[in-house]
Amino acid sequence: MRGLALALSWLTVLPVRAVPDGAPPDPRTAAAAIRWAPLVGALLGAVAGGVLLALAAAGVPSLVAGLLTIGFLALATRGMHLDGLADTADGLGCYGPPQRALAVMRDGSAGPFAVITLVVALGTQAGALASLVERESPGVLLVAVGLATATGRAGFAWCCRRGVAAARPGGLGATVAGSQPWWVALAWWSALAGVGAAGAPGRPGQGPLAVVIAAAVVVGLSAHTRRRLGGVTGDVLGAAGELSTTTALVILAAI
């Protein structure tokens, strides 16, 4: 349960105290937090789906409701994943050796690659949510949003699988790099594919397809960042989560 508490503390704004103030988590608890991350993602998605339904019921235009729901998710996660996506886009978009890319990522300012990536990702997520709320029943909508956000967090385990080193000392990446058996991510993706098959009436293949394609995006990103940066960082985890979530939403919203 300490791992779940740490996952809630890391991945949400909930005031959960997992470790003493100022103390770093022990490696075992940190590894458990990564394994619990998809469950936390499902919780975030369920709440976000409720927000989307409430906005739509209040008469808010679907695209505006989608944008506001994405804003809610950013607030609920302290914007950490979006920050990671932006920093990773700038780092991978620069020229030079890994040290140069890591320095750009550590700088924290948003360059052109970050801005473009955020605009496209957030706009795509909002548009997908708008499409879902216009045509799906409330139950299917909640499953779809929860499935997408859980799938995004399932990719953390793949990025942190054994054999993947930390790209730099210190930070979240160094805490969880190499902490996961390779099968953890596959187990989560398989379970989520089953949920997708059961939760999308009339389109049983669409949910599993969304999980598979989102997983492929994470596998490709992990391979590229491992080659380009030398390993994983906390920013890479954020990028994996956002890109995977975006991909899953697009597939789930496709007619």
pLDDT digits (tens, 9 = 90+) for 40-49: 999 999 999 9
133: nearest Cα among 145, 122, 123: 145
State the pTM of this model.
Answer: 0.94
The reported pLDDT for the residue numbered 23 is: 66
- How many Å apart are CA 189 and CA 214, to the nearest integer? 9
Query: For residue 232, how far is the Cα from the chain centroid?
Result: 15
Between 80-93 and 234-253, two packed helices, what is the crossing angle to 10 degrees? 100
The reported pLDDT for the residue numbered 88 is: 95
**Which amino acid is residue 2, in one-letter code?**
R
N-terminal to C-terminal alpha carbon distance within the chain:
40
Beta bridge partners of 180: 161
Domain count for the chain, please give it.
1
252: nearest Cα among 150, 155, 145: 145
The reported pLDDT for the residue numbered 201 is: 53
CA-CA distances (angstroms) from residue 155 to 39, 120, 124, 137, 222? 12, 20, 19, 28, 9
**Which segments of the chain have a pLDDT < 50?**
none
The reported pLDDT for the residue numbered 83 is: 94
The reported pLDDT for the residue numbered 36 is: 96
Q: Range of 123's domain?
A: 2-253
- How many Å apart are CA 160 and CA 114, to the nearest integer? 23
106-111 long-range contacts (CB < 8 A, ≥24 apart) are 106/168, 110/86
CA-CA distances (angstroms) from residue 101 to 89, 94, 173? 10, 6, 15
CA-CA distances (angstroms) from residue 139 to 40, 42, 152, 209? 19, 14, 20, 19
Model pLDDT for residues 148-195, shown as the tens digit of each residue? 999 999 999 999 999 999 999 888 888 999 999 999 999 999 999 999
Are the C-beta atoms of residues 185 and 155 closer than 8 Å to each other? yes
The reported pLDDT for the residue numbered 245 is: 98
